Amino acid sequence: MLKRRTLILIVILSLMITGAAAVTLISKKDTASDDPTHLFTNTTEEYTFIAFGDTQEPANFVKDKIVEYAIRSRPDFVIHLGDSVDSADPHQWWIYDYSEGLIEDAGIPTYSIVGNHELADMLGIYNSNEEKLSLYFKRHPRLNNNRWYKFQYGKVTFFMLDSEANISEGSPQRRWIAQALPKVKTPYTVVSIHRPPYTGLWKDTDTRELTQWMQTVRPLSMVLSGHTHNYERYIINETIYIVSGGGGSSSHFFKRQPDDYWRFENDTANHFMLFKVTGSKMVGEMMGYFLLQQKFVVYDRFTIESG
């Protein structure tokens, strides 16, 4: 409780310093769209963003450290890769309000995707219903009640997809992607989807087939996922696949795949991703929590360049 009170104090001080009286859903640099699934276009070409996933309870202290880092460093936005709660009940979302929810309270936009735990009940039964989704969308008013959506930031178009909804051929989500993806004009296309197409822990043929199909429509720069509570990095057909499910929940340890660029099996499971975009270059850093120094350090780094 003391840590959460400290975070609340940080938020209050941050808002006082920045002079932000309330969260604004569309900033002065954002251009709104007539398409409700396209949230906005921001022309800023140099910016930073943070991505992480799987912060559901029982989470360890690293989740609070990630939230504190985000509020102190003030990235332009945050991507949550799903599983913010252990189950879709009001108490779990109350915990979220006083942890990850503080990032949005500090005036830092958070763009989330649905994970399997957002749709779970306390008995561990996973299914979609309006009550569960209403708790989710209440925390994410920027999403306009969209389970899948996109936005453009500088030279990157972000597709935020829902692995818990139907993604097979002919589904509403697949039809939406088929219409939106060919219209992308930016040099970078980044996909976020909770269940990873590639991971050493399990195999999700649905998300793998989806991203493989998307590659035939338009080259993908990067795919961000969670679900596996660890870090993995793959390069498949020139696309970087990142698994970033180390947001503080119980860690998964497993035998690394031969094509996983991250070779450490039992280390730095808790982490977040920090991305720095400058014009035609995007640099990604895996920020692992180094317990001995009690701080985040760069454990992995990669660069994506267009053209």
> pLDDT by residue (tens digit) across 40-73?
999 999 999 999 999 988 777 889 999 999 999 9
What's the confidence (pLDDT) of residue 277? 97
What is the model's pLDDT at position 16? Answer: 36
Alpha helices in 163-204 (DSSP H): 172-180
Distances (CA, A) of 2 to 90, 97, 98: 22, 15, 11
Q: How far apart are CA 269 and CA 258, in angstroms?
A: 18
Phi and psi angles of residue 177, each rounded to the nearest 5 degrees, phi first: -60, -40
Residues 138-196: tens digit of each pLDDT: 999 999 999 999 999 999 999 999 999 999 999 999 999 999 999 999 999 999 999 99
* Exposure on the CB side of residue 202, measured as CA atoms within 13 A: 11
Q: In the 8-state DSSP scheme, what is residue 118?
A: G
Confidence of residue 25 (pLDDT cuts 50, 70, 90): low
CA dist., res. 268 & res. 93, Å (int) = 27
Q: What is the CATH number of the domain that holds 267?
A: 3.60.21.10
Query: What confidence score (pLDDT) does residue 35 get?
Result: 87
Confidence of residue 130 (pLDDT cuts 50, 70, 90): confident
Q: How many domains does the chain have?
A: 1
Least confident of 171-175, 287-291, 303-307: 303-307
Q: CA 36, CA 58: separation in Å to the nearest integer?
A: 35
Q: Is the pLDDT of residue 235 over 90?
A: yes
Closest CA to 55 of 261, 259, 271: 271
Stretch 221-242: mean pLDDT, rounded?
Answer: 94
Q: Which region among 13-17, 70-74, 191-195, 264-268 has the lowest average model confidence (pLDDT)? A: 13-17
**Residue 215 structural domain:** 2-305
Residue 266 binned pLDDT confidence (cut-offs 50, 70, 90):
low
Question: Is the pLDDT assigned to residue 17 strictly greater than 80?
Answer: no
Burial of 36 (0-12, 13-18, 19+ CB in 10 A): exposed
Q: What end-to-end distance do the CA atoms of the chain give, in Å? A: 49
